[in-house]
A and B are shown apart, each in its own frame.
Chain A
Amino acid sequence: MRFQVLVRLKDGVLDVQGKAIETGLKDKKFNAFKNIRVGRVIELDVEGVAPAEARAQVEEVCKLLLANPVIEQYEIKEA
């Protein structure tokens, strides 16, 4: 099974990359873009386990490593 994990900074946590992008776009006169948030996409195959178990394991590694719950939130999608 293939999964896609989207990791984002939580709302309210400063995203300096997003701010830098906003500044860059403003320099090119794209003034309409606001609240730019940069996330991360992690794609992974889970092999040899039942679908429910696969999802549970992805959930587990999100908490363990892929996201830092202090500052980030994550979303798991089946690809």
Chain B
Amino acid sequence: MRVAVVVFPGTNCDQDVLHVFGKLLNAEAFPVWHRDTDLKKADLVVLPGGFSYGDYLRTGALAKLSPVMQAVKEFAGRGGRVLGICNGFQILCESGLLPGALLENVGQRFLSRFVHIRTERSVGFFTSGMEPGGVITCPIAHFQGNYYADPATLAELEANGQVVFRYSGADGSVAPEDRSTNVNGSCNAIAGICNKAGNVVGLMPHPERAVESLVGFVGADTGLEPFRRSVAA
């Protein structure tokens, strides 16, 4: 399993992702610079979190024009697996690889805290075979994480079962109007989605920061499971 981790100027979660795939899951994980167009025979491409191009213009807007993203689009078009986390999700939406957009958080604040996310359906490679209703506890760290899509697009996402994760309580209960769980105000409490084919997945939370029980909070390693699935599936 070869995992390409794309690095843009301003990316800051690349080492976490390389650690998960390379050290914890024994995959062959390597960085790919944003000016490169060679994905080096990757089986999976990850766009990690950070502040690509300083978040200039809009989050993820300039990254979509980079040479590497043209290669990623072709790769995804051929059915290649692409995962975007946080800023990576924003880049996937800006690129049109995933529908919708990420608006500023409803509370007008940068949110750096733990959340619970509920696995919706085992669609897409990232949650392949995972039990629907399972809860992952992991951090979020974003100012633009408020998932938005127009009503028609939202209805389509729901009808196709493209919602991968929703913000929830610790017990998996979902209440979109409840700001204590759906902290950024996302439509339908959406935390992550996939494309129709299931080969492109994006999410705002950072499960790659909740993979080691060493850090010692309840659920500290619950983020590892989807990465494990991505390598196994």
Contacts and interface: CB of A to CB of B under 8 A. Distances in A.
A1 interface: no
Nearest to A67: B58
B45 to A, nearest CB: 22
Contacts of B106: 14, 16
Interface in B42-65: 57-58, 61-62, 65
Main secondary structure on chain B at its contact with chain A?
loop
Interface of B: 57-58, 61-62, 65, 93-94, 99-101, 103-106, 108, 146, 148-150, 185
Given A17-B104, A65-B65, A71 B148 contact: yes
Contacts of B105: 16
A17 to B, nearest CB: 7
Interface of A: 13-14, 16-17, 19-20, 64-66, 68, 70-71
A19 to B, nearest CB: 7
B221 to A, nearest CB: 34
A36 B150 CA distance: 21
A64 B149 CA distance: 19
A13 B65 contact: no
B101 A68 contact: yes
A69 B150 CA distance: 11
8 contacts: A13-B148, A14-B106, A16-B106, A65-B61, A65-B62, A68-B58, A70-B150, A71-B148
Given A65-B62, A70-B99, A71-B101, 12 more contacts: A13-B103, A14-B104, A14-B146, A17-B108, A19-B108, A65-B57, A65-B65, A68-B94, A70-B93, A70-B148, A70-B149, A70-B150
B103 A71 contact: yes
Of the candidates A14, A16, A64, A65, the one having the most CB atoms from chain B within 10 angstroms of its own CB is: A16
A16 B144 CA distance: 11
